[in-house]
Amino acid sequence: MKKILCDFRFLLFLAAAAFIYIQIRLFTTQSKYADRLADAIESENQCTSQLRTLIDQISLQQGQIVSLEGTAAIVEEKQRLEQECGQLKVLVQELERKGLGRLIDKNQVPVAAVVIMACNRADYLERTVKSVLKYQSSVASKFPLFVSQDGSHPAVKQKALSYDQLTYMQHLDYEPVHAERPGELIAYYKIARHYKWALDGLFYKHNFNRVIILEGLSWPFPRGMTMGKSSLCMILDCENCHASILMTCNFMQGSSLGQFFKQYLEPIKLNDVPVDWKSMDLSYLMEDKYIKHFADIVQKAKPIRGSDLVLKARNIGGDVRVQYTDQPDFEYIARQFGIFEEWKDGVPRTAYKGIVVFRYHIPQRIFLVGPDSLKQLGVNDS
């Protein structure tokens, strides 16, 4: 009995040992498979990451390809437009040459070119051309007529080309405008470019010595001269670099979007009284003589200061002058008299040597004099 019990215990021990051995083997095998599975998962993650990286690179390259294709298309389109623009410029120059040859008498030396500046208002252009032709037709060989259009407005171009009595010029400028100061109207820069282009063409290409401009704003003159603002008709002399303002009249709102038009410009009446200019000695208008002429007038004007300037000016029969110190002071005085108080490019509108002249009670003249104006004119204010 004891022997049987001993054998049973021995067998049980062997079974337990075998079970433990199997469990150890199973655990070892599971651990190996777990490590392999972890390695496989890590490898899969790496493959997935690499796949995503490759997809991103492919997308980026596709985007670059599309961008390059778009850039190539833009370059191609730009080249095509530049080619068409060049062809149009050649055509315009040929039309100008033929038109100018038709309008100018070979035996008659032109006195001055007359140029009407236009942009996008065909009705205003028509009104101006019809008004000019009433007086210009009889002297067309002496004063050949031009229309210079800024831009490509089709109605303006069509209207200008409908007249056989003039030469059409077209200014095409697609360069971006960079304003010098924030808030400035881009239109003024575009106007300046147009005026310079037109004046360069008339002075240097067509070799006119003088140019009469209809519808003035502000622009840089040839050879560095800068002219002021706001007139309908001006005469420019290329040789003497001199400008004479003949009259001021405005029947349209300009690039300043109608600013002050109703208040100051629309009421201006165009002179309808005949003037025999040929019988008058206008030599004093030449720049070297005009400075002295103007200085004498300013010096003779009686200075007034302090408050109640309007009342003081009214009580004085002749010309008076009022000194202003800066822009706010000028605007304060201008409001008292009810005149234009705006400044452009650091100077009051219509100022000459910093002096603004206006008539308060005909024939009394008021001179608003800047802080350095008398010194510029050589006037002693003692």
Residue type, 321: R
Residues 346 and 372 in one domain: yes
pLDDT for res 373: 94
Instruction: Identify whether residues 150 and 180 lie together within a single domain.
Output: yes
- Does residue 111 lie within any of the structural domains? yes
pLDDT value for 263: 65
The reply to whether 308 falls in a domain is: yes
CA distance 14 to 252: 119
Question: What pLDDT sits at residue 257?
Answer: 47
Distance CA 105, CA 243 (A): 26
182 & 143 share domain = yes
Which phi and psi angles does 147 have, rounded to 5°? -125, 125
Query: Residue 194: is it exposed, middle or buried by C-beta count within 10 angstroms (0-12/13-18/19+)?
Result: buried
- Determine the pLDDT at residue 289: 92
pLDDT per position as a tens digit, 154-187: 999 999 999 999 999 999 988 888 887 777 778 8
Same domain, 113 and 219: yes
Three-state DSSP class for residue 169: strand
Identify the domain boundary among 273, 301, 325: 273
233, part of any domain: yes
**Structurally, how many domains does the chain consist of?**
3
As averages over each run of 10 residues, the pLDDT of the chain (382 residues) reads 60 72 72 67 65 59 54 68 64 56 63 92 91 88 94 93 94 87 80 93 91 61 33 50 47 51 67 85 89 94 92 90 95 91 82 91 88 91 67
Q: Please enumerate in sequence order all residues whose Cβ is within 8 A of that of 298, keeping only pairs 6 or more positions apart, or say none.
A: 321, 355, 367, 369, 373, 374, 377, 379
The whole-number pLDDT of residue 38 equals 67
Query: 344 and 239, same structural domain?
Result: no
Flag whether 2 is in a domain: no
Residue from 218, 211, 219, 215 nearest 237 by CA: 211
Helices (H), the chain: 2-103, 122-136, 154-161, 186-200, 287-300, 309-315, 327-337, 373-377
Whole-number CA gyration radius for the chain: 42
Q: Which domain holds residue 36?
A: 22-82
What local confidence, expressed as pLDDT, does residue 317 receive?
80
Looking at the domain assignment, is residue 297 inside a domain?
Answer: yes
- What is residue 124's three-state secondary structure? helix
pLDDT score at 381 = 72
Q: Are 323 and 355 in contact (CB under 8 A)?
A: no
Q: Which of 273, 306, 338 is the endpoint of a domain?
A: 273
Question: Do 175 and 255 have their domain in common?
Answer: yes
DSSP state of 137: G
Q: What is the pLDDT of residue 215?
A: 72
Q: What per-residue confidence (pLDDT) applies to 231?
A: 39
Q: 57 CB contacts (<8 Å, ≥6 apart)?
A: none
Tell me: cis bond preceding 363? Omega within 30 of 0 counts: yes
Are 202 and 330 contained in the same domain? no
Question: 135 and 193, same structural domain?
Answer: yes
Is residue 219 located within the same domain as residue 257? yes
Q: Crossing angle for the helix pair 122-136 and 154-161, nearest 10 degrees? A: 20
pLDDT at 91: 57
Cβ density class 142-160: b for 16+ within 10 Å, e for less: ebbbbbbbbeebeebbebb
